[in-house]
Amino acid sequence: MKEKEGIFMQYDTLLFDIDNTLLDFEADESQALKRLFDFVGIELTDELHQKYSNYNKSLWQKLERNEITRDELLATRFSVFFKENFNRDVTDLNLNERYINYLSDGHDLMPHAAELLQLLKQNPAIRLEIATNGVPQTQYKRLKEAEIMNYFDQIFVSQEIGINKPNIGFYNYIENHLENFNTHRTLMIGDSLTSDIQGGNNANIDTVWFNPQHLDNSSSTQPTYEIDDLLQIKKLI
């Protein structure tokens, strides 16, 4: 619990991001990229992996700022990357679809994720929800194969909603689809300052920045709480 305006308030709705919050996207991305680059016939070095990860992250941040559409991101990210770095035309190889299939095979859990969900689910006063910008077919499969899907009452995926985090419309949709939703009793939990934390701030929802790598925050986006271990969430509710 936290003290707000002199009154102790308990959070009863927890909105969880997926990638690098509950599931280890870095590990899952690595295996998917390795298989994809093997298919193309190019060795995936650490330097190349980092270059793609930075490039892909920049595209998702553009999506968050409404500078590109999701369709544009998914349709062009590999064709542009391989053209710019290898002068290879891969437009006919359906690399994005292949990559999504590879990625959906990855379901590595973040440390203590399953333990936390088990503990939270024992409290009938708390409801757990998913709030993700990921690709639906990938996220559903990964949650199921990680054996954590059943912990959540609803799964809110931006592509299905038609609005991305951090847009306030994403959270308005959640509010309209959850009974007795109260922003003051809701927590948005995620690893992304630009998506999860800014989104929560936009919607006047308290936020938890999951920051296990102790990254510096030099931005104007400030979380309500910062943690480096998921089990620390227990102390906040």
Angle, vertex CA 205, rays to CA 21 and CA 201, nearest 5 = 85
Amino acid letter, 165: K
Residue 133 per-residue DSSP state:
-
196: which residues sit within 8 A by CB, 6+ positions away? 17, 21, 131, 165, 166, 188, 189, 190, 207, 209
Which residue has tokens 């590595």?
108
Residue 24 designated active-site = no
State which H helix or E strand residue 148 sits in: none
Q: Which of 97, 93, 107, 99 is nearest to 44 (CA)?
A: 99
Q: Which of 233, 229, 209 is nearest to 119 (CA)?
A: 233
Helices within 123-188 (DSSP H only): 136-145, 158-161, 168-176
Give just the sign of the alpha carbon dihedral 192, 187, 165, 183: negative
Query: Considering 17, 24, 28, 191, which one is annotated as catalytic?
Result: 17
Annotated active-site positions, please? 17
